[in-house]
Amino acid sequence: MIVPAKRATRTSPPIPGAAESRHASLRQLLEARRLELTTDVRGRMRERRIEGIAVSGDIVDDSDASVEEDLQLTLLDMRARTLINVDDAIARLEAGAYGICVECYEPIAESRLTAVPFAVRCRNCEDSRERHVSGRPSAGPTAQARRTVTT
């Protein structure tokens, strides 16, 4: 069996300072996101302290206020977790591990890092993790066969 030889791919020589420039732009992006999140979290916390919970005596109004407060606390928690993720991404950047998938150790696509600058997994590993955590079967032939048998 004859196996065709791989074509030699031509890679351009590294541009002097390109890595440092990328590092600086990524750090700038992450620092801007950190500032945005910090400002938002602090503002939300300040609002929570100022507003407090107003007691109106009306059960419906109190119920609405409770739902609104739960929503605001959930949003605050999400923003605080995102802030922690951004801080972790900055630490990975400084350590030279930014942009490397923690599961397969392959580079994370630039488009993914642009969309989610604190991503720790490549798209494939993240999809696999989400399927595992949610208990959803994969979209492979076995999952397709299971769906066919049960329907």
For 44, the domain range is 24-98
pLDDT by position in tens, the chain (length 151): 444 444 443 333 444 455 677 778 888 888 998 899 888 888 888 877 776 654 455 665 566 667 777 888 888 889 889 999 999 999 999 898 999 999 999 999 989 988 898 999 999 999 999 998 887 665 544 444 433 444 4
How many folded domains does the chain comprise? 1
User: Is position 145 within any domain?
Assistant: no
User: Is position 72 within any domain?
Assistant: yes
User: Is position 32 within any domain?
Assistant: yes
User: Is position 146 within any domain?
Assistant: no
User: Is position 122 within any domain?
Assistant: no
- What is the DSSP code string of 22-39? HHHHHHHHHHHHHHHHHH
CA dist 128 and 58 (Å) reads 48
User: Is position 51 within any domain?
Assistant: yes
User: Is position 55 within any domain?
Assistant: yes
